[in-house]
Structure 1
Amino acid sequence: MSRIEAVFFDCDGTLVDSEVICSRAYVTMFQEFGITLDPEEVFKRFKGVKLYEIIDIVSLEHGVTLAKTEAEHVYRAEVARLFDSELEAIEGAGALLSAITAPMCV
């Protein structure tokens, strides 16, 4: 068996669970533009979908045109706020990182 030379992590779902928080930020973003969405539906429909694609889909469904850069600004600000106050490591992530002796990248 070959020796492990390095370990690369994708943060979401491995070290932290940010998808739920991002879904809540989408809901807040759309509320700023008068569109009400259900957080659970947003999570189910848009997990892993790029921000501008989500904006396009929801805009089309609601018959509006949103300025993507303005919407993105609202979204990024809300994500930062929620990450600062609510983002937590997945159970065992810290112990895993402490146990790995190979170089790591996140």
Structure 2
Amino acid sequence: MSGVDLVIFDCDGVLVDSEIIAARVEAELLTAAGYPIEAEDLARIYAGLTFRDILLRIEQESQQLFQATLIDEAEKLVDRRLRAEVRAIDGVHEAVASVEGKICICSNSSAERLQATLTRTNLLPFFEGRVFSSLDTPSRKPKPAPDVFLYAAEKMGADPRKTFVIEDSTHGVAGARAAGMRVIGFTGASHTYPGHADQLTEAGAETVIRRWADFSPVLAALSEWAE
């Protein structure tokens, strides 16, 4: 595909079905801290954000302050649950293997969490040495900032204008678009909700898929024409 320099995959909610696991842990902690929220609502509203940024947004919206220790507690509990429960999304191994050119991962998760989830789901061999966490970029700015996408493109020697990103969150889509990249939305994970695809499209995704079986033909079709 001459129109594609690089394909970037988000990890959580795209490669692995982890968003709902994290949302359940975080919702339980928030509810116990005096901010009742359902896991499904947390995933719908804040998918793609770090728990630190979720807390900051909730504090701004509710004028309620949380203890800083909640962040560390959430990270430990989520890591524990992911190591025990996370699964690859159906068809993702075949979809990743189908890409003929360069591929990598851009995520807001820590390098340690990515290593653990990718190892458990047998996806690490596809991406060894090409996994980029926003926490390890020079700016350390998470999505929706474009920094991790631009950092990955530079390291991979790719033109952002010829880079496709697969994202499940509006924040991820916004970050990729701000980086000048083209986006395919994905709604095949357990945290998807009514209107999910519409929100991804409104955020800037050119199209949205819900099955990995549709990925190769969609990528091939989009690569044939410039945006």
2:20 counterpart letter in structure 1: V
1:58-97 matched pairs, under 5 angstroms: 58-59=58-59, 61=62, 64-68=64-68, 70-97=69-96
TM-score normalized by structure 2? 0.39
Following superposition, the deviation at residue 46 of structure 1 comes to 2.1
Following superposition, the deviation at residue 57 of structure 1 comes to 4.3
1:1-106 matched pairs, under 5 angstroms: 2=2, 4-59=4-59, 61=62, 64-68=64-68, 70-106=69-105
Report how many aligned residue pairs link the two structures.
Answer: 104
Following superposition, the deviation at residue 23 of structure 1 comes to 0.8
* Distance in 1 of aligned mates of 2:96 and 2:4: 15
| CA distances 1:32-91 after superposition (whole Å, capped 9, x unpaired) | 535443222222232234423322344463x642223x1110110111012112211111
| CA distances 1:3-57 after superposition (whole Å, capped 9, x unpaired) | 7554322113321122211211212322453544322222223223442332234
Percent identity between the aligned chains? 25
- Structure number with higher relative contact order (C-alpha < 8 Å, ≥ 6 residues apart): 1
Moved more, 74-83 or 11-20: 11-20
Following superposition, the deviation at residue 2 of structure 1 comes to 1.6
Cα RMSD after superposing both structures? 2.6
Q: Identify if the C-alpha distance between structure 1 residues 34 and 13 changes in structure 2 by more than 3 Å, giving closer, same or farther.
A: closer
Q: Is the 1:28–1:75 Cα contact (8 Å) retained in structure 2?
A: no
- Greater fraction helix: 1
| Consecutive unaligned residues in structure 2, runs of 5 or more | 106-227
TM-score normalized by structure 1? 0.72
SS of the aligned residue for 1:74 comes to helix
Q: Is the 1:28–1:78 Cα contact (8 Å) retained in structure 2?
A: no
SS of the aligned residue for 2:16 comes to coil
